[in-house]
Amino acid sequence: MTEIIKGINTAAITHENRFMAIAVKIRTPQGDDALYYMQNVVIRDVLLIMNNKFRAVVENMKLQGEAYKAQLVADNQALLNNLPAIQQQELQNPDPARRVMSVALKQECEHFTLIAALQSGHVDIINFSNNQAEFVIHAITQALQNAGDKEAFIHLCGALDYIPLYDTGFSNINELDYQQYPHEAWRQALFPNYVGILFNYQTAEGDKILRGAVVKTYLKAESPEIQSIAGRMVNLLPHYKALQEQHQLKQIFCRDIQATSDQPLSTEQCLRPLRDYYLEMTAKLQNGEKR
Rg (CA), the chain: 22
For residues 203 and 250, what is the distance between their CA atoms, to the nearest angstrom?
Answer: 10
For residues 221 and 136, what is the distance between their CA atoms, to the nearest angstrom?
Answer: 30
For the chain of 291 residues, list the mean pLDDT of each consecutive stretch of 10: 90 93 97 97 97 95 90 95 97 97 92 97 97 97 93 88 96 92 94 96 91 96 93 85 88 94 91 97 83 52
Domain ranges for the chain: 7-157, 162-286
For residues 165 and 214, what is the distance between their CA atoms, to the nearest angstrom?
Answer: 6
Distance between first and last Cα of the chain: 53
Q: What is the pLDDT of residue 216?
A: 97
- Of 157, 160, 237, the closest CA to residue 197 belongs to 237
Q: What is the pLDDT of residue 28?
A: 96
Report how far apart, in Å, the C-alpha atoms of 167 and of each of 122, 162, 198 are: 36, 14, 10
β pairing state of 123-129 and 111-118? antiparallel
HSE value, Cβ hemisphere, 13 Å, CA-based, for 101: 9
- pTM above threshold 0.85: yes
Beta strands in the chain (DSSP E): 7-15, 18-27, 33-38, 100-107, 111-118, 123-129, 162-169, 178-180, 193-203, 206-217, 248-257
Per-residue three-class SS string for 91-114: HHCCCHHHEEEEEEEEECCCEEEE
Q: What is the pLDDT of residue 289?
A: 62
- What is residue 173's DSSP assignment? T
With contact defined as beta carbons under 8 Å apart, do 177 and 169 qualify? yes
Q: What is the pLDDT of residue 262?
A: 80
Q: Write the single-letter amino acid at 265.
A: L
